[in-house]
Amino acid sequence: MKFDFAGQRVLVTGGAHGFGRAISLAFARSGAQVWTCDTNAGGLTQTAVLAEQGGLPLRTRTVDVGDRAAVQALVAEVTADGGPLDVLVNNAGGVLGQVGRPIEEISEADWHALFRVNVDGAFYFAQAAAPHMKRQGRGRIVNISSGAGLGVSLTGIQAYASAKAAQIGLTRQLAHELGRHGITVNTVAPGFVRSNPTTERQWESYGEDGQRRLLDGIALRRLGTADDIANAVMFFASPAADWVTGQVLSVDGGR
């Protein structure tokens, strides 16, 4: 399926690497005007260089998705000329360097930090984008959750699994609230993909035996790529998904 987003405006969070970078570049290659943000300024620069090399329309901004005022300012910038915001992709998230530990060792700060980046950020961006999409009478919001939100986290990080499950709940609730305005809200739940420094460290930590067990548990017997996730996002954002909302698409090679 060839996706065409010519003339559309797309905002992707967490575009400094991995899924966010792949999603941003995929939309840009399909003709969209793309804005992407992250707190990782160096990674954003690399994303911008890749876009420039391909002659792609992409703008980057350094924004903390957990800062509601900064989120609102970015959405205001994207729509400053009165133009539309067609697609919002809430990809920013992750484990922020945390590792699995027993529940009694988890601090209040560690727990809230993962909800802030994975859930609060998605809520703040949806909250800022919704009025523009309502005025347009259309819009697409796609959240990037995780297989951890549907089952258990391979990392053993309680807050990550809980936050990703909360993101799915937010998706379903917003789908019902915003559907009457022509806005769809869906979630992509990726399986394990080696897409950034954190997942590379996780992969190496398994050793050869653990890596083999992980692959044996995947129906297709291979890991996915960031482009596999980008393709799913673009489906949800495309006219092919006009009557699809409140759904979770597992992109995990079959579990």
- Tell me, what amino acid is at 144? I
Active site annotation includes 160: yes
Phi first, then psi: give them for residue 59, nearest 5 degrees. Answer: -120, 145
What type of residue sits at position 94? G
Question: How many C-beta neighbours within 10 Å does residue 220 have?
Answer: 10
Structure tokens, 180: 């009457």
Question: In this structure, are residues 104 and 83 in contact, taking their beta carbons and an 8 Å threshold?
Answer: no
Whether 13 and 20 have beta carbons less than 8 Å apart is answered as yes
What is the spatial distance between Cα 22 and Cα 139, in angstroms, rounded to a whole number?
Answer: 21
Q: Which among 29, 36, 25 is positioned nearest to 5, based on CA atoms?
A: 29
- The residue annotated as part of the active site, out of 3, 5, 35, 160, is 160
Angle, alpha carbons 204-208-213 (nearest 5°): 105
Q: Which residues are catalytic?
A: 160
